[in-house]
DNA sequence: TATTGTTATACTCTATAACTATA
DNA sequence: TATAGTTATAGAGTATAACAATA
């Protein structure tokens, strides 16, 4: 079925195409949140019982800390989150969702899940299996200590002419 | 195990984190190809027995046609691909890999597969299952006609306050 | 001195519009 | 007139570096 000589068989293409397709649909569902899907993810983190500081959030969301500052600014101006100085270390700021932010997140969470079901419908009963495997992979690749491993692996494989 | 209140349970985050992790590792393996992973994907398409024109390639790679022009320029200057005017319609140009391009693609293909095996090792024996499901999803989301469906679905769900 | 976060700046990537050539 | 591709320009997104506050 799959032609191995075409890009459709490339793992990088599969991940990219899936991500682009998801982002396009999610962009519509989450257009009411500053920053779109990224703002939604930040809002989600801000509803945690143990809110993270900005450095941790930047690493978790895969963005630069300077970019995160602007993103938080937008969400804060919209009244969705607030910066709370950490009493134990006043350099750090915990990002916490407001009541308005929690309500909006909950509402969009429901809509997002419905959209995801439409997207994953093509996988049939294997959709939950796929999500479980993807979750394992994503957590593995996003762990800070694994980033080092990936680089060393990649470099050891990169023995081609430059 | 998975905390549903955190972003790690979000499908968008999973796809994004996996894509970022893969792109980072692939960037090292494919640093010798102009355009990195994207250049590799174009090179892969250019090795097809039925080479595509630029419009089709742009849609397949998920990039704008104007961006594709520059990407092809870089690969052509490196002697990896060439533009062949379509005899049937001289407006169109088929992108075909040179012998040098095919050799480089084959070499990097091997290295890339080894790297992917390292990345997917965390999934154990389910790695092939994951790739099959991801392939189905990616092809589905990348099909042009489905783009329309996604938008209409998303818009019908976007009944929130703006 | 090191770390967290902010700000200003510069850079990269991408998209918009106008253009050429073919149909 | 419409389409494929190119070019120039503008825009969005991102990263780099210098800074202030705190440890």
Question: How far apart are the CA of A118 and the nearest CA of chain B, in angstroms?
Answer: 8
Which domains are assigned to chain A?
22-123 (1.10.10.10)
- Percentage of residues of chain B with pLDDT beyond 70: 85
Residues B123-133 have a mean pLDDT of 97
Q: Which residues of chain A have pLDDT under 70?
A: 1-5, 144-162
User: Is A96 in CB contact (< 8 Å) with chain B?
Assistant: no
Is the predicted pLDDT of residue B3 greater than 50, yes or no?
A: no
Cβ distance A18 to B141 less than 8 Å, yes or no, reads yes
pLDDT tens string B96-123: 999 999 999 999 999 999 999 999 999 9
Q: Dihedral angle at the C-alpha atoms of B17, B109, B99, B40, nearest 10 degrees?
A: 0
Instruction: State which H helix or E strand residue A28 sits in.
Output: helix A11-29
Task: Concatenate the DSSP letters of all residues of A55-120 into one string.
Answer: HHHHHHHT--HHHHHHHHHHHHHTTSEEEEEETTEEEEEEEEE-HHHHHHHHHHHHHHHHHHHHHH
Which residues, numbered 141 to 160 in chain A, qualify as contacts with chain B under a Cβ-Cβ cut-off of 8 Å? 141-142, 146-147, 150-151, 153-155, 157-160
Is the predicted pLDDT of residue B152 greater than 60, yes or no?
A: no
């Amino acid at each position: 079925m799959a032609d191995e000589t075409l890009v459709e068989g490339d793992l990088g293409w599969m991940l990219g195409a899936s991500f682009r397709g998801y982002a396009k649909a999610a962009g519509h569902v989450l257009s009411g949140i500053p920053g779109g899907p990224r703002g939604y993810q930040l809002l989600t983190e801000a509803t945690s019982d143990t809110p993270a500081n900005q450095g941790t959030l930047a690493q978790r969301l895969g963005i630069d800390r300077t970019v995160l500052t602007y993103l938080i600014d937008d969400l804060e101006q919209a009244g969705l989150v607030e910066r709370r100085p950490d009493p134990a270390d006043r350099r750090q700021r915990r990002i916490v969702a407001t009541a308005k932010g929690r309500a909006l997140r909950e509402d969009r969470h429901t809509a997002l899940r419905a959209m995801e079901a439409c997207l994953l419908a093509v996988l049939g009963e294997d959709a939950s299996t796929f999500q479980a495997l993807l979750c394992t992979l994503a957590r593995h690749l996003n762990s800070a200590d694994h980033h080092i491993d990936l680089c060393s692996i990649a470099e050891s494989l990169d023995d081609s002419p430059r």
